[in-house]
Amino acid sequence: MIEPQEKERRRGLVLNFTGNGKGKTTGALGTAIRALGWGWRVAILQFVKDDRDTGERRFLAGLPHPPEFLSLGRGATWTPDVNPEQHRTAAARAWQIAAARLNNPDIDLLILDELNIALHQGWIDPDIVIAALQHRPTTMHVIITGRHAPEKLLAASDLVSEINELKHPFQHGIMAQPGIEY
């Protein structure tokens, strides 16, 4: 459990994990596990991913006090059976939920997974996101993930990590596998 004086001394940070390499969500979830170990209240909102069965969903749901974990997207942006307007509508709904969480002083760590993609696609206005980040509780940490982070969001972030792909099994015809990609 978090000691009240520890939380009062905390300065919430905005971390942005971007780049075209694999590991952005994985890095955010690793931080979530660390935070949960300290008794923090964690919320994870996914802007593009749908509610498919994943290892992280299974693991987190099995915890005695699981974090909020919402997959609010329509799946991969290149999926032909989902049109761009469906992605835009899902992202707008996800942002409404995220904006409410950004006003919740009880949340210690908020992960906005693949928000960078929603911003890059023009589904959400980056200026609205930056304003909400600037007005969140001062003790709340936020991690934003996804490719193509807008420059103005990077400038507003306290930490930026760019994860670059040097080699990927997909280049050799090896498809996504449980336990590695999901």
Structural domains of the chain ordered from first start: 7-163 (3.40.50.300)
Q: What percent of the chain has pLDDT over 70?
A: 96
Q: What is the pLDDT of residue 107?
A: 98
CB 153 within 8 A of CB 130: yes
Spatial CA neighbour of 144 closest among 115, 104, 108: 115
Task: Please write the tens of the pLDDT for every residue from 160-173.
Answer: 999 999 998 888 89
Average pLDDT, the chain: 93
Q: Which of 16-25, 49-58, 110-119 has the lowest mean pLDDT?
A: 49-58
CB 102 within 8 A of CB 133: yes
Q: Which two tokens stand for residue 92?
A: 């707008």
Task: Please write the tens of the pLDDT for every residue from 39-83.
Answer: 999 999 999 999 899 999 999 999 999 999 999 998 877 767 778
Compute φ and ψ for 151, nearest 5 degrees.
-55, -40
Give the three-class secondary structure for 173: coil
